C-alpha cells in the first residue's frame, strides 16, 4: 500500500481482505523495524502494490534532489573541471562503497562501469584467457539469457566447449552437479548466485571451492543478490563477479553495472576491451595500450557519471539499515507471500524454495493463466512480472515494501484468477 492511493480507495481495498490476512499483515508492518524507510521513496501515483523490485527498484526521493543539484552544480558550474574533481575516480570510489556495503569486498577490487552484458563478456573472456590449455566453460541451462548468450559467443570465438548443467528449475544448481561437470579441462564456471526465475540461492562457497579444486576460475552473476542478501566475496574466495545496480541497489533504468576482481588475480587477468580510460595514463595519448594497475584496468570508456548518482543514495540507506536487517525482512516478506499463496490462491503453485537459506528476495508462482493476469493486474496498479511459460514473479525489495502491500497485491491476483 502506498501513500499515493486515495485514502478511501485504500480503505475499500483493505476492507475486501479477509480479516485474518489484513490483521496479520498489519501486525507484521507494526513490528517491522525497517518500516519507516518506506517513506523515503518517491511516490508512484495509482500504485497499489509494487511486486517487481527485483527488476527495477523504486527511486528514492533524495535521488530527485541529487540529480537536479548535479545539473546546476558539478555539471553547469564546474563543467570539464569536474573530471579532475571527482568524476574520473568515480568508478573505483563508488566501487569501494559497493564492496564495503553489500559485497563483503575490501577496497580496490570493485569497479562500476558499462552494462552487465559488457562486463560479463569482459570478465568471462579474460578468465578463459587466464587459463590457457583448458577448453571447457561450465554453465547452466536455467541461467539468464544474457549469461548464456555471452558464453556462446566466447566459446565460438575461442573454439571452446560449453558444458551445460541442466538443474531442477525450482532447486537450482547444486555443488554435486558442479563437481560432476568440472575437471582438469575446465577454464571457467559461470553461474548466478540467485536464480532469476525460482529465486534459488546457490551454495556459493561450496561451488567456488569445487571449481578451484579443479583449477578453474568462477564468475558469479550477482544481479539478484547485491542489496538483497549479505555477501562475503573476499571471505568465500570468489574470483570474479558481475552484477547490475538497477534492482535492489535502485540505481534507475540503465544504471551501470559493477565488476569484482579479486586482488590476487589482478596481475594475471587482462580484460579484452582496451579503452583509453582503463590505460595506465589516459591523457598521455600514447601509441600503445598499457593497462592501469589494479581494478582500474576493467574500465574501458568514459565513466557513466550521471548513472551512478541515484545508487549513492540507496547505498547510504542500505548501510544505515544494515544488510542483516535487510535480509531478515526479505525472508519475512517472501515467507509471508508464500503463506498467502498457499492459503488464498487456489490452483497456484509456489515454484521457489521453501528453505529460507536457499531463497532470495523473490517468489515465483505458477499458474496457466498468469500471462493474462499480470497484464490485467498492471491496469489495477498491482505490478508483478511474468516469466514464461506461466510464472508470476513476486519481487520484494525489503526497504520499500510493506506486508500490507503484499497482501493487497496477492489478493488482487486472486480476484483476477476468478
pLDDT tens digits, one per residue of 238-252:
999 999 999 999 999
Between CA 284 and CA 21 the distance in angstroms is 65
Q: Quick one: average pLDDT of 128-139? A: 98
| Catalytic position from the list 22, 163, 247, 358 | 247
Verify whether residue 247 is a known catalytic residue: yes
Average pLDDT, the chain: 96
Pick the CATH number of 89-302 from 3.40.1120.10, 2.60.40.10, 3.40.50.150, 3.40.640.10: 3.40.640.10
Q: Quick one: average pLDDT of 178-192? A: 98
pLDDT at 1: 41
Exposed / middle / buried, residue 368 (Cβ in 10 Å: 0-12, 13-18, 19+): exposed
Verify whether residue 393 is a known catalytic residue: yes
| Catalytic position from the list 50, 121, 144, 260 | 144
Give CATH for domain 7-61+322-417: 3.90.1150.10
Cross-strand bridge partners of residue 362: 395
Verify whether residue 270 is a known catalytic residue: no
pLDDT at 13: 86
Between CA 171 and CA 355 the distance in angstroms is 10
pLDDT of 3 over the 60 cut: no
Domains 7-61+322-417 and 89-302 share a fold: no
pLDDT at 286: 87
CA 369 to mean position of chain CA atoms: 27
* pLDDT level of residue 12 (50, 70, 90 thresholds): confident
* pLDDT level of residue 418 (50, 70, 90 thresholds): confident
| Catalytic position from the list 32, 221, 313, 366 | 221
Number of alpha carbons in the 13 Å side-chain half-sphere of residue 161: 12
Q: Give the C-alpha distances (Å, rounded to integers) separating 315 from 62, 249, 308.
A: 12, 7, 11
| Residue boundaries of the structural domains of the chain | 7-61+322-417, 89-302
| Catalytic position from the list 32, 387, 393, 403 | 393
| Catalytic position from the list 50, 196, 246, 403 | 246
* pLDDT level of residue 8 (50, 70, 90 thresholds): low
pLDDT of 119 over the 60 cut: yes
Q: Quick one: average pLDDT of 385-406? A: 97
Longest dimension (CA), the chain: 73
Amino acid at each position: 500500500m502506498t501513500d499515493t492511493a486515495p485514502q478511501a480507495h485504500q480503505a475499500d481495498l483493505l476492507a475486501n481482505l479477509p480479516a485474518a490476512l489484513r490483521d496479520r499483515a498489519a501486525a507484521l508492518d507494526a513490528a517491522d523495524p525497517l518500516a519507516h524507510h518506506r517513506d523515503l521513496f518517491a511516490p508512484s501515483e495509482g500504485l497499489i502494490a509494487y511486486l517487481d523490485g527485483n527488476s527495477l527498484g523504486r527511486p528514492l526521493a533524495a535521488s530527485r534532489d541529487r540529480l537536479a543539484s548535479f545539473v546546476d552544480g558539478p555539471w553547469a558550474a564546474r563543467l570539464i573541471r569536474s573530471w579532475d574533481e571527482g568524476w574520473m575516480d568515480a568508478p573505483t570510489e563508488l566501487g569501494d562503497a559497493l564492496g564495503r556495503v553489500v559485497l563483503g569486498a575490501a577496497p580496490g577490487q570493485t569497479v562500476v562501469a558499462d552494462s552487465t552484458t559488457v562486463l560479463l563478456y569482459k570478465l568471462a573472456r579474460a578468465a578463459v584467457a587466464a587459463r590457457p590449455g583448458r577448453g571447457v566453460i561450465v554453465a547452466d541451462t536455467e541461467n539468464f539469457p544474457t549469461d548464456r548468450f555471452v558464453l556462446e559467443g566466447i566459446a565460438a570465438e575461442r573454439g571452446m566447449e560449453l558444458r551445460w548443467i541442466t538443474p531442477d528449475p525450482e532447486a537450482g544448481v547444486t555443488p554435486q552437479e558442479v563437481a560432476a561437470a568440472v575437471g582438469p579441462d575446465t577454464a571457467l564456471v559461470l553461474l548466478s548466485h540467485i536464480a532469476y526465475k525460482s529465486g534459488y540461492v546457490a551454495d556459493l562457497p561450496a561451488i567456488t571451492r569445487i571449481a578451484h579444486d579443479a583449477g578453474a576460475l568462477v564468475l558469479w552473476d550477482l544481479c539478484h543478490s547485491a542489496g538483497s542478501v549479505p555477501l562475503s566475496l573476499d571471505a568465500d574466495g570468489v574470483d570474479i563477479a558481475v552484477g547490475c545496480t538497477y534492482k535492489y541497489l535502485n540505481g534507475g533504468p540503465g544504471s551501470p553495472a559493477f565488476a569484482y576482481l579479486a586482488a590476487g588475480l589482478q596481475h594475471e587477468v587482462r580484460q579484452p576491451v582496451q579503452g583509453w580510460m582503463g590505460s595506465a595514463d589516459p591523457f598521455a595519448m600514447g601509441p600503445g595500450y598499457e593497462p592501469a594497475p589494479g581494478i582500474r584496468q576493467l574500465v574501458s570508456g568514459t565513466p557513466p557519471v550521471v548513472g551512478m548518482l541515484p545508487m549513492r543514495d540507496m547505498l547510504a540507506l542500505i548501510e544505515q539499515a544494515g544488510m542483516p536487517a535487510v535480509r531478515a525482512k526479505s525472508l519475512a516478506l517472501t515467507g509471508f507471500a508464500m503463506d498467502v499463496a498457499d492459503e488464498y490462491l487456489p490452483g497456484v503453485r509456489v515454484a521457489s524454495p521453501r528453505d529460507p537459506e536457499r531463497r532470495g528476495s523473490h517468489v515465483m508462482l505458477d499458474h496457466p493463466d498468469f500471462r493474462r493476469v499480470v497484464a490485467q493486474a498492471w491496469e489495477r496498479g498491482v505490478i508483478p512480472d511474468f516469466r514464461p511459460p506461466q510464472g508470476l514473479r513476486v519481487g520484494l525489495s525489503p526497504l520499500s515494501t510493506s506486508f500490507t502491500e503484499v497482501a493487497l497485491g496477492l489478493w488482487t491476483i486472486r480476484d483476477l484468477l476468478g
